[in-house]
């Protein structure tokens, strides 16, 4: 059985930043989030990749103990091309090719249906909904999304939002979805629709939690070696959900800790292209950076 069922893109990413570029590298929201979650629990991915998808990429996930029995193979892989300039908080999307995701009908393996934790990573909200309908009795469901889906499938996205416990979204997308420049208002609008908690990711500036009438603000880790922030939001969400699944404690206090673990793993992700940095760290590295956060937040 998997602890955390994740649906989201598994992709071939071509990314350029001021520090270099990669072509058709392993990427996608489900890839980053499952890898980050695997430091804490056993995740399983629901996705589709094409015949063109390198087998070694699937092996990277499998070797890490990620269940990939929910990854279908057929047609063409999702491709994303992005560019970052010196303000690395925002990716400019140059191209999105949905490939096989355009007609994908997710079918959950039996071993995923009992998962107590579910992460609906960034993908078509109709697929997020289809996965949610197949899990039997989840304890906690979180979702992420992005401007592409806000602009193309807003109605479906709001339908998913009404069924989840946690909304993870970045600041620009929260403003766009709730049509307000004010993040507090955006979070309150989201909470009125159903979720118990809203987590707004602010790139290198950290993250905000709105829950139980309280507000928590986590700083970003002061990184000197920023190389490519692609997947940082997904890594943040994966580590956060992985930690909640491991501790089986979705209280506001514990979600604060989960946010710090999310920030730590996201900071490692941004130190390299694709999974380069994340595949070189261990739990000791994560704990060391986690404890540094106490110093960063103390005053």
Measured from the CB atom, is 5 or 116 closer to ligand AMP?
5
Q: How far is the CB of 82 from ligand AMP (least distance, A)?
A: 7
Measured from the CB atom, is 230 or 263 closer to ligand AMP?
230
Q: How far is the CB of 249 from ligand AMP (least distance, A)?
A: 25
d(CA 265, CA 272) in angstroms, rounded, equals 12
Vertex 117: Cα angle to 262 and 270 (nearest 5): 20
Measured from the CB atom, is 123 or 166 closer to ligand AMP?
123
Q: How far is CA 216 from CA 37, 145, 242, 258, 260, in A?
A: 22, 21, 20, 12, 11
d(CA 169, CA 207) in angstroms, rounded, equals 10
Q: What is the DSSP letter of 202?
A: -
Q: How far is the CB of 148 from ligand AMP (least distance, A)?
A: 4
Q: How far is the CB of 212 from ligand AMP (least distance, A)?
A: 26
Q: How far is the CB of 146 from ligand AMP (least distance, A)?
A: 6
Measured from the CB atom, is 197 or 237 closer to ligand AMP?
237
DSSP strand E in the chain: where? 4-7, 11-17, 20-27, 43-49, 67-73, 78-83, 92-97, 117-120, 140-143, 166-170, 197-201, 207-211, 214-218
Tell me the β-bridge partners of 15.
22, 82
Question: Which residues of the shown chain bind ligand AMP in the complex (CB under 6 A)?
Answer: 9, 11, 13, 27-29, 80, 96, 122-123, 146, 148, 230-234
List b or e across 55-90, with b for residues whose CB sees 16 or more CB atoms inside 10 angstroms.
eebbebbeebebbbebbeeebbbbbbbbebeeebbe
Measured from the CB atom, is 96 or 188 closer to ligand AMP?
96
Q: How far is the CB of 72 from ligand AMP (least distance, A)?
A: 16
d(CA 230, CA 90) in angstroms, rounded, equals 10
Measured from the CB atom, is 116 or 273 closer to ligand AMP?
273
């Amino acid at each position: 059985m998997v602890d955390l069922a994740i649906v989201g893109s598994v992709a071939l990413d071509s990314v350029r930043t001021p520090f270099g570029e990669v072509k058709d590298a392993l990427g996608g929201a489900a890839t980053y989030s499952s890898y980050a979650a695997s430091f804490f629990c056993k995740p399983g991915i629901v996705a589709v990749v094409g015949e063109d998808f390198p087998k070694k990429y699937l092996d990277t996930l499998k070797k890490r103990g990620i269940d990939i029995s929910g990854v279908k193979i057929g047609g063409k892989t999702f491709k994303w091309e992005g560019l970052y300039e010196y303000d690395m908080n925002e990716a400019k999307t140059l191209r999105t090719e949905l490939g096989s995701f355009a007609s994908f009908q997710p079918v959950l393996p039996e071993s995923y249906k009992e998962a107590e934790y579910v992460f609906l990573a960034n993908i078509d909200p109709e697929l997020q909904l289809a996965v949610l309908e197949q899990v039997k009795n989840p304890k906690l469901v979180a979702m992420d999304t992005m401007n592409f889906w806000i602009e193309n499938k807003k109605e479906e996205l709001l339908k998913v939002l009404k069924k989840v416990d946690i909304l993870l979204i970045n600041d620009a997308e929260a403003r766009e979805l709730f049509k307000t420049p004010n993040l507090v208002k955006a979070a309150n609008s989201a909470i009125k629709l159903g979720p118990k908690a809203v987590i707004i990711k602010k790139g290198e500036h950290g993250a905000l939690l709105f829950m139980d009438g309280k507000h928590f603000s986590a700083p970003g880790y002061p990184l000197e070696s920023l190389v490519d922030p692609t997947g940082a939001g997904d890594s943040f969400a994966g580590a956060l959900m992985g930690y909640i699944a491991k501790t089986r404690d979705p209280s506001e206090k514990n979600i604060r800790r989960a946010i710090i673990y999310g920030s730590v793993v996201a900071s490692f992700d941004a130190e390299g292209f694709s999974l380069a940095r994340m595949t070189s760290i261990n739990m000791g590295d994560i704990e060391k950076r986690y404890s540094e956060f106490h110093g960063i937040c103390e005053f």
